[in-house]
């Protein structure tokens, strides 16, 4: 069996790099919903598809495999480093890559058949404008397909990590650290879509299993990439290793040491123009 320590990069590696993000959060959180979201695409009438917030390309690959080979896929993100990581992994696929702000889509009215956005709209400052832009560029009958995270306690690995991190924090985390779960309820999402003039709307919560090769891999990614990392490190860097060991132990006991499989939950919304 692969030694657990060999799967963990050294401290010289950047915890904030796109490769770290993809390596640890990719299989743990994004891959399960990438598959789920792609399965909801009706590919029969798609000529042009747009992905917003493509990140490191986890969903992009599944969209490309789902839609017709003749269809054009534009994968976009506002983060250049994320896009470079995605392009590196998916260079063999027919994908057009663009740096795009979801609030200002550079496309003509009624020009896109499908828009997919997984776990990005929560971080867009002007959500109303972003949804209005999506509606504008979709052709009549086109679909906006998006996913957002459910409440933190429904995403158990992150919830456990947060609770243990709070034992070390002297002050609460800034409210901005709750953005990831800021669109966890239908009452938040539906008005945004309705105000953008979408009328045919479907919203549901979906629970899946996340997967990580080991509990150690999962916790390394969550702690080193967590919003509390810098705060705790400033007080005592040794606490980080303590946290990793504590949460690894709890995750392993509850969900297995190798592999680790834990429940995660998201909200999947579909809206047609």
Q: Where are the domains of the chain?
A: 11-272
Residue pLDDT, tens place only, 130-172: 999 999 999 999 999 999 999 999 999 999 999 998 888 877 7
Decide if pLDDT at 16 tops 70. no
Q: And the tokens for 95?
A: 């994908």
User: What is the spatial order of strands in the sheet that 48-52 belongs to?
Assistant: 96-99, 72-77, 48-52, 112-118, 138-149, 260-272, 200-212
214: nearest Cα among 245, 247, 186, 256: 256
Q: And the tokens for 198?
A: 């979408």
Looking at every residue in the chain, the average pLDDT score rounds to 90
Residue pLDDT, tens place only, 34-63: 999 999 999 988 999 999 999 999 999 999
Buried b (16+ CB within 10 A) or exposed e, 115-126: bbbbbbbbebee
Residue pLDDT, tens place only, 201-254: 999 999 999 999 999 989 888 888 777 788 888 888 889 889 889 999 999 999
For the chain, what's the residue count?
A: 273
Cα–Cα distance measured from residue 83 to residue 184, given in angstroms and rounded to the nearest whole number: 26
* Spatial contact of 222 and 157, defined as CB atoms under 8 Å apart: yes
How many C-alpha atoms does 217 have within 13 Å on its Cβ side? 26
Decide if pLDDT at 90 tops 90. yes
Give Cα separations from 122 to 108, 134, 154, 184 (angstroms).
25, 15, 17, 9
What percentage of the chain exceeds 90 in pLDDT? 73
Bridging pattern class, strands 260-272 and 138-149: antiparallel
Decide if pLDDT at 15 tops 60. no
**What is the CATH architecture assignment of 11-272?**
3-Layer(aba) Sandwich (3.40)
| CA dihedral over 243, 245, 246, 251, signed as positive or negative | positive
């Amino acid at each position: 069996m692969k030694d657990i320590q060999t799967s963990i990069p050294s401290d010289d590696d950047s915890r904030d790099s796109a490769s770290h993000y993809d390596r640890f959060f990719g299989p743990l959180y994004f891959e399960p919903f990438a598959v789920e979201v792609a399965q909801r695409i009706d590919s029969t009438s798609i000529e042009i598809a747009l992905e917003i917030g493509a990140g490191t390309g986890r969903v992009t690959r599944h969209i490309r495999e789902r839609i017709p080979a003749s269809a054009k896929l534009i994968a976009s993100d506002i983060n250049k480093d994320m896009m470079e990581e995605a392009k590196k992994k998916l260079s063999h696929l027919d994908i057009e890559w663009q740096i795009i702000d979801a609030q200002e889509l550079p496309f003509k009215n009624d020009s896109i058949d499908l828009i997919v956005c997984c776990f990005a709209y929560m971080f867009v400052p002007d959500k109303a404008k972003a949804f209005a832009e999506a509606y504008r560029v979709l052709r009549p009958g086109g679909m906006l397909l998006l996913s957002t995270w459910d409440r933190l306690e429904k995403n158990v690995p992150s919830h456990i990590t947060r609770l243990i991190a709070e034992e070390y924090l002297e002050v609460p985390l800034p409210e901005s650290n709750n953005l990831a779960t800021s669109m966890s309820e239908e009452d938040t999402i539906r008005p945004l879509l309705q105000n953008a003039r979408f009328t045919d709307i479907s919203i549901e919560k979906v629970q899946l299993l996340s997967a990580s090769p080991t509990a150690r891999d999962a916790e390394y990614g969550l702690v080193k990439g967590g919003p509390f990392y810098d705060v705790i490190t400033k007080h005592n860097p040794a606490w980080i290793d303590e946290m990793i060991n504590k949460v690894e132990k709890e995750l392993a006991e509850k969900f297995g040491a190798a592999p680790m499989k834990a429940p995660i939950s998201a909200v999947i919304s579909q809206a047609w123009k």
